[in-house]
Chain A
Amino acid sequence: MTFNTNLRNIFLVVFTTLILSACSTAKKTGNVDGDVYTGKETVKYLASGVPDRVFFATNKSSLTTASRATLRKQATFLRKNKKLNVTIEGHADERGTREYNLALGERRANAAKDYLMTYGISGKRISTISYGKEKPVNPASSALAWSQNRRSVTVKVN
């Protein structure tokens, strides 16, 4: 009898310990990997399972593996809906000069467009526009907000 209660107590203590230590390590994994946002918070969907946006590192317009995967899903979606046209919006975070951010947004939009085109989507169906830092999705001044704002968003036009 005592042995069972002891065992139960031991399990209780170990269990609570694990829960407590798990809480303290949540920051480590997080939603930002190497400066690129990897979370799902601001993401909308063109269709079920097709995220509408990809994210970038500071000052960069290169696509991550995750971004390419997302864009491939978008390409598949666009191939299925042949009459659909889109605009890709390029955005930058607020931590840069305004004019350069306009150019950077343009580069990011085109990086996504070029990738879609390599998957057979006609360039005529895709237009691009840059908003620089003018339309942040997260207005906070934090590293998380900035990573969520560095994005290329695919928007349905028709």
Chain B
Amino acid sequence: MKKIFKILTLYHLIFINPVLALIEVDITRGNLDPLPIAVSPLHVDIKSQEHEGLKVKELGTSISEIIEKNFKGTGLFNPLKKEAFVQKPDIAHIKPRFEDWRLIKAQALVTGKLLVKDEKLKVEFRLWDLTASKEITALAFTTTPSNWRRVAHIISDKIYERLTGENGYFDTRIIYVAESGPKNQRIKKLAIMDQDGAKTKYLTLGTELVLTPRFNPTNQMVTYLSYFRNMPRVYLLDIETGMQEVVGNFPGMTFAPRFSPDGKKIIMSFAEDGNSDIYTMDLETRVVERITNHSSIDTSPSFSPDGKFIVFNSDRSGLQQIYVMRSDGSNVKRITFGSGIYGTPVWSPRGDLIAFTKVRKGRFYIGVMRIDGTGERLLTENFYQEAPSWSPNGRVLVFYRETKSGKKGEGFSAKLWSIDITGYNERRLETKTDASDPSWSSLLSK
């Protein structure tokens, strides 16, 4: 009996066990390859009418090209070449032949169609998952034909959102200082453009020095520093009307302005008898509030997205470091302790990170850190670069770089650059002239 029992238990141990267990394999790594996506030119409905100033027949291709360029710029998507496309735009939009599209190694497909009629532009697009062989998003828009570029950017945002889980940042603008001329006699103008470099517009004439423009979260107003009449002061500019007005009535230089997240206040530095402190001014009531009161230089203030905290730059410890305080100026805490100097702190619109410029041993770095100062990550190094500004989804930073110049200032140039917060995808932004001091708007379509 015992023998039989032993044989049975052994048999059980050897042969029954395997059937109960399920193989589990942990997948902890993948590649960082961009997703291959095919953006088919949008089909232009034959009923479309002519529209002044627009090449309506080419609109379908133009829109798809903007979407492709947007995707390529993120480093997350790899738009495939059009020559490889297997179906005509009108058919692909109704019923794509998935196996054929998969042959060109695409994993996602964008198709669409548009109609220009009665002074209106109607656009419809579909996003297909080729590996699952099904449609995953479809949307339609109606707008004025002249807004066709924004439609392309909004479509890009919707697709980006669906495939990454994040809000997009394509339907946005960047304001910056356009520069020209010899290095010791630069002409500077305020300029605004779409984030892809299109539709550049100059907002000032270049007769006086202008610096550090920043967007209001509602995007109607801009605040900046101007040396109008040789008196450096913070100004407000309405982009739509072009009207400018000085902020407050300060008896000395005001500079480094930003808006509060609700757009109702300006926060800036005011220099009195050589000492710079941080002040706010309510745009409605015109009430001025003093936030810091220290014999050191306090500047470059930036609000947290909930408006409760301010991060700023101060040399009260001897050298430039970054500090965080409550929005009433209380509870000042230093958050940078590494070697080198830290400047230009900016709070991410997601509230989770602070971007900054660091200078160490003669090299300039753009970096991010958590709001308590830990987790410092330097993203890029250069001879000279500074002033990062966040994309509205808190994933990309735009900043500017200057090159070394020769004995007479030759070889000098300033350009806008952007980088993802993962440190990948560093690229130069196209601007018509040299550029510096960029600031990124929030999404226009919100």
Contacts and interface: CB of A to CB of B under 8 A. Distances in A.
Whether A and B touch directly in their complex, counting CB atoms under 8 A apart, is answered as yes
B292 interface: no
Interface in A103-133: 103-104, 106-107, 109-111, 113-114, 128-130
A107 to B, nearest CB: 5
A97 B184 contact: no
Contacts of A128: 274
A103 B273 contact: no
Interface centre among A103, A106, A128, A134 (most CB of B within 10 A): A103
Contacts of B269: 99, 103
Nearest to B356: A97
A97 B276 contact: no
B56 interface: no
Nearest to A114: B274
Interface in A127-155: 128-130, 134-142
A45 to B, nearest CB: 20
B359 A96 contact: yes
Nearest to B274: A110
Given A134-B209, A139-B182, A139-B183, A97 B386 contact: yes
Contact of A106 (B184, B253, B384): B253
A103 B271 contact: yes
Contacts of A111: 274
A94 interface: yes
Given A103-B299, A139-B405, A140-B405, A129 B186 contact: no
Nearest to B342: A97
A95 interface: yes
A72 interface: no
Contact of A140 (B212, B273, B406): B406
B313 interface: yes
Contacts of B212: 98-99
A97 B405 contact: no
A95 B359 contact: yes
Interface residues of A, number: 31
Interface residues of B, number: 46
Contacts of A96: 320, 341, 343, 359
B403 to A, nearest CB: 8
A4 to B, nearest CB: 49
A22 B431 CA distance: 51
A99 B407 contact: no
A59 interface: yes
Interface in A5-38: none
Contacts of A61: 274
A97 B343 contact: yes
A97 B408 contact: no
Given A107-B274, A139-B184, A97 B387 contact: yes
A111 B274 CA distance: 7
A99 B274 contact: no
A102 interface: yes
Please list the 10 inter-chain residue pairs (A to B) with the smallest Cβ-Cβ separation, ordered nearest first.
Answer: A139-B409, A110-B274, A97-B343, A139-B183, A103-B276, A141-B404, A103-B297, A99-B256, A106-B271, A139-B184
Given A97-B313, A98-B211, A100-B320, 15 more contacts: A59-B341, A94-B402, A97-B344, A98-B344, A98-B387, A99-B299, A100-B299, A103-B255, A104-B297, A106-B276, A107-B276, A111-B274, A129-B232, A139-B183, A141-B383
Interface of B: 182-184, 186, 209, 211-212, 225, 230-232, 253, 255-256, 269, 271, 273-276, 297, 299-300, 313, 315, 319-320, 341, 343-344, 357, 359, 362, 383-384, 386-387, 402, 404-409, 412, 437
